[in-house]
Chains A and B, each alone.
Chain A
Amino acid sequence: MINIEKLTIAEIKKGYIDKKFTVIEIVSAYIDRIKRLDPKINAFITLCEEMALKEAAILDDKIENGEEIGQLGGIPVAIKDNICTKGIKTSCASKVLEDFIAPYDATVVKKLKDAGAIIIGKTNMDEFAMGSSTENSAFKITKNPWDLGKVPGGSSGGSAAALTAGFAPLTIGSDTGGSIRQPAAFCGNVGLKPTYGLVSRYGLIAFASSLDQIGPFTKDVRDCALSLEVLQGNDPLDATSVNDTATKDYLTDLDAGIEGLKIGVPKEFFQEGLDPEIDESIKGSIKKLKEMGATVEEFSLPITESGLSAYYIVSSAEASSNLARYDGVRYGYRAETFEGIEELIVNSRSEAFGKEAKRRIMLGTYVLSSGYYDAYYKKAMLLRKKIKNVFNEAFKRYDIILSPTSPILPFGIGEKTEDPLQMYLADIYTVNINIAGLPAISIPCGFSKSKLPIGVQLIGHHYAEKKLLQAAYNLEQSLGVYKDIPELKGVE
């Protein structure tokens, strides 16, 4: 049997070339592992066994005939359940879309398929990507593979846990305020939120349109760079997808050194509320970076708290509008009893949306209401502009900004569900990056005494993914912690 849980994308690709295994063998091994272990982890909402095996057979034939199988040929990929997949259910982990099957593929899904990747399933998440623990799923609670009593983070908790549990060498998530980076930190893997506009949003079921961005979870930075090459690119179906001229070759020179790289560390990200174990681990990363020849400097980035308020106002406002289409008229959940159109809409929405989604819809509706718009939404937009400017200024001095990904370690399941404000504070280091549309990556940088993963966040300037990945690669290699995988105690 193949030890698939340890394999990276690069290793699987090499294995296919060296004929160490076939695509069917790889896909079957992952599916077996998912079937065996996922009942305890709950990373998946839908498993695509039949379809995946069919695709695998086609690719094996291609290999047999000496044909090209693509940049991700034969690589199993699990996709967050808010990204549309033609013919496969896309539920957003919501009762609202429990049986929704999109008649089209999201652009990223099309790109993955074109590159030869094989979709093996759809992963669990917080309902409509609203949350930081994946506890807001209408269907199941995903467990952190490092400690089944802890949350995997969110909202892309299913994708993060699936990657860490060895259910796929590549999983796809979406990040609106930290929904890739925070679960990557909680589960100890690499998670990237690209620059807003680098990856098409077409087919990503919108939470907050001006903040949402799709990105990968991988075992290491090299795999991340490889998958970003496939995911990125201008899309005529997404007007916010940007056609820029920056390089899309992220693999070449990935291992070039970082001598002279200028790194800024905002001191506001190291204040009250930061777990001392995380603080210590991040300082270890800073030491490593200095050893490799980077200059690291503390500076002031006075935006953290205002950023969080701006984030919750803008994201909720957009969400209240984006989620309004789920009225039970055309598709999705429809109440069984109603009289007239108004009751149909009210009953359907009241019965199907979860607590957190309702909270954000209410909040968003409120801040957009006449008489409140200026005090909230307009002010938030001004703050947003200010935050962008503050970052632009900082990037005149630094190539990379470094911070913890999360102020807290993975917390216990149920621990914060009754206190949404506490939950919102977990996003304090990540939301500003979405507000400013910047790229940021979380990579594992250590463990707590209780063996819970800790992530460090590196932030780059717009479209500076190449430099960001180089810095992340060098740090990852020198730290070495990325190779650790959980024992899955109590599962096997």
Chain B
Amino acid sequence: MAYETVIGLEIHVELDTKSKIFCSCSTEFGAKPNENTCPICTGLPGTLPVLNEEVVNLAIKAGNALNCDMNRINKFDRKNYFYPDLPKAYQISQFDLPICENGYVDIHVDGKNRRINLTRIHLEEDAGKLIHIEDEPVTLVDYNRCGVPLIEIVSEPDMRSAEEAVEFLKNLKAILEYAEVSDCRMEQGSLRCDANISVREVGQEALNTKVEIKNMNSFREILKAIQKEEKRQVELYTFGEGHKIKQETRKWDSSKGRTIPMRSKEDAHDYRYFPEPDLMPVIIAQDTIAKIKQNLPELPSKKKERFVTSYKLSEKEIDILIGKKILADYFEAVISFGADSKEAANWIIVDVLRALKEESNEEMPIKAQYLAGLIKIIDQGKISRTVGKEVFSELITTDQSPEEIVKQKGLSQISGMDQIEKIIVEIIGKNPQAVDDFKNGKAQAVGFLMGQTMKATNGKVNPKLAKEILENKLKEM
């Protein structure tokens, strides 16, 4: 029996605002526990929410970038449930009138183009964080995250494999980064994903019981968790035990590499949604939507088209550069300082990416201006490529320009014709055997003499020029 997997994702994305959704507290990540809180976001009695309008603008931006229809009449609703990280005991969210509906993201997997549809995007506030103290009967609460603005993106069950799900999520993340809606840092929780998974026989139309998987914190974990759950369900169906698949929420345990049951359908909350009486409906002007659409930053698909026509790069190179907004931005910055695009792409894909990985940093290791300068002096023959790599390593640790480093370390390439000629004459004089070999038709002798030249100059001689001069000299003899 052949089975196919049906996957839908729910993605929570923190919006990139300075202040929280209903108060003026900072949204910055990494503050001391409960530093970014006030009576409003900790839900003290008597306080009221006031909407940060930037949140609506960012949601419209996300909707535009994800090809959604916009609801111009918006209201907020209360989602009621008790949990210590939720100080009002309700989350202000959107229930029956989400700000965006009916979007899509196109993906490319295994040579096939697929369109993944989005059901809706709605606005809501984030909750705080519980911190369990190990081996102690104590739980602490940090409300810094409480009231950070979120959008929840709900996809249709359109994905058919873990790979498709991950590809969808990667594309979605890139689009939101490019649109400057969120920094989408999964490791900081500003992009979080839950997956709904069911399995059915190929050809079957109806959906089977779905299971929700939570707590996956990286693309790798999402891939593994979905594959694991897929395997669990297929095995149960294969052995005629499909009835054992219950509608439930399971938690991914990355250390054990498996999902464990969290709560069943019977334990599901009745959230008792009702319209939030403390906030007025938000009516979005058609004009606002149009203006935001007009000023939307260039999205990955458009950028790719432009890169294909503007730069002589392979598709693979372009995909790598586009895959991360900071890389593409950096590439274009390097170009803007006059560097050759092919060279720039090479350096970025090989050396810059390696440095990024080693530093595990989100910041570029070298100023774009310096990388462009480095490429230029190599191109001009002032230093060799080999020396260039050395300068590159220097650039990561110092804040000097490549020119300064070359000067300080005496790495400048010998390019003066007279100077090179003098050196070569010297080398020829020292190696009569090689000269004889050349005369006897042994072409390798040129290589030997070049090696000697490089050695004598510590690699600083311009190899192209040196070779030319050497060959001329040998022919003259």
B side interface size, CB within 8 A = 29
- Report the separation of the CA atoms of residues A103 and B82 in the bound assembly, to the nearest whole angstrom: 24
* A369 interface residue (CB < 8 Å to B): yes
Query: For the complex, is A345 an interface residue (Cβ under 8 Å from B)?
Result: yes
Does A144 touch B at the CB level, under 8 Å? no
Listed stretches A235-243, A247-255, A268-276, A470-478; interface member: A235-243
* Nearest B residue (CB) for A200: B48
A441 to B139, CA, bound (A): 50
Q: B81 CB to closest chain A CB, in angstroms? A: 9
Nearest-neighbor residue (CB-CB) of B82 within chain A: A345
Point out which of B45, B47, B89, B141 has the most chain A C-beta atoms below 10 A from its C-beta.
Answer: B45
How far is the CB of B351 from the nearest CB of chain A, in Å? 51
Kindly state the separation between the CA atoms of A203 and B47 in the bound complex, as whole angstroms: 6
Q: Are the C-beta atoms of B274 and A202 separated by less than 8 Å? A: no
Interface string of B428-442 (1 = CB under 8 A from A): 000000000000000
The B-contacting residues of A in range 103-121, CB under 8 angstroms, are 103-104, 106
B370 within 8 A of A: no
- Judged by a CB distance under 8 angstroms, whether A468 is at the interface is no
Contact of B46 among A84, A331, A365, A377 (CB under 8 A): A84
User: With A and B bound together, what is the CA distance between A106 and B88 in angstroms?
Assistant: 18
B-contact bits for A377-404, CB 8 A (1 contact / 0 none): 1000000000000000000000000000
On whether the beta carbons of B50 and A325 are closer than 8 Å, the reply is no
B39 at the interface (CB under 8 A from A): yes
A285 lies within 8 A of chain B by Cβ: no
Contact B48 A325 (CB under 8 A): no
CB of A377 within 8 A of CB of B274, answer yes
- The answer to whether A210 and B277 touch across the interface, beta carbons within 8 angstroms, is yes
Chain A residues lying within 8 Å of B90, measured Cβ to Cβ, are 321, 324
Query: How many pairs, one residue from A and one from B, have CB atoms within 8 Å of each other in the complex?
Result: 97
Cβ-closest chain B residue relative to A208: B277
Name the distance in Å between A242's Cβ and chain B's nearest Cβ: 9
Task: Give the distance to chain A from B280, nearest Cβ to Cβ, in Å.
Answer: 6
Instruction: Say whether A325 contacts B88, CB under 8 Å.
Output: yes
User: Provided the pairs A100-B45, A103-B44, A239-B279 are in contact, do residues A321 and B50 lie with their beta carbons within 8 angstroms?
Assistant: no
A369 touches B46 (CB 8 A): no
> Does B265 touch A at the CB level, under 8 Å?
no
Report whether B45 and A368 are in contact in the complex, using a CB–CB cutoff of 8 Å. no
A267 shortest CB reach to chain B, Å: 32
Name the interface residues of A74-117: CB closer than 8 Å to any CB of B.
83-84, 90, 92, 97, 100, 102-104, 106
Q: Which residues of chain B are within 8 angstroms of A318 by Cβ–Cβ distance?
A: 274, 277
**Given A237-B50, A318-B277, A321-B78, A327–B89 Cβ distance below 8 Å?**
yes
Chain A residues with CB under 8 Å of B44's CB are 102-104, 331
Q: How far is the CA of A240 from the CA of B276 in the complex (A)?
A: 11
Residue A204 is within 8 A (CB to CB) of chain B in the complex: yes
Report if B42 contacts A (CB, 8 A): yes
- The distance in angstroms between the C-alpha atoms of A100 and B87, with both chains bound, is 16
Query: Does B80 reach chain A (CB closer than 8 Å)?
Result: yes
The answer to whether B279 touches A369, judged by C-beta atoms less than 8 angstroms apart, is no
A204, A205, A240: the one within 8 Å of B280 (CB): A240
Q: In whole angstroms, what is the CA distance A26 to B88 when docked?
A: 42
Shortest CB–CB separation between residue A320 and chain B, in angstroms? 8
> Is B297's beta carbon under 8 Å from chain A?
no
Does A104 lie within 8 Å of B39, measured CB to CB? yes
Residues of B within 8 A of A104 (CB): 39, 44, 47
Q: Which residue of A lies closest to B78 (CB)?
A: A321
Q: Determine the residue in chain B with the shortest Cβ distance to A332.
A: B45
Contact A368 B50 (CB under 8 A): no
Smallest CB separation, B94 vs chain A (Å): 16
Closest to B76 in A: A239
B274 x A321 contact (CB < 8 A): yes
B49 within 8 A of A: yes
Report whether B78 and A239 are in contact in the complex, using a CB–CB cutoff of 8 Å: no
Q: Is the CB of A206 within 8 A of B88?
A: no
Q: Are A202 and B47 in contact (CB under 8 A)?
A: yes
A10 adjacent to chain B (CB < 8 Å)? no
Say whether B278 faces chain A, with CB atoms less than 8 Å apart: yes
Are A102 and B46 touching (Cβ within 8 A)? yes
12 residue pairs from A and B, CB less than 8 Å apart:
A90-B45, A102-B46, A103-B39, A202-B48, A209-B277, A236-B50, A238-B50, A240-B279, A240-B280, A320-B272, A368-B80, A370-B272
The 7 A-B pairs at the shortest CB distance, nearest first, are namely A324-B89, A210-B277, A368-B272, A209-B277, A205-B45, A203-B46, A84-B46
Can you add 9 more A-B contacts, CB < 8 Å, to A209-B277, A318-B277, A368-B273?
A90-B45, A103-B39, A203-B46, A203-B47, A208-B277, A238-B48, A324-B80, A330-B87, A368-B272
Q: Show the binding face of B for A, using Cβ within 8 Å.
A: 39, 42-51, 78, 80, 82, 84, 87-90, 139, 141, 270, 272-274, 277-280
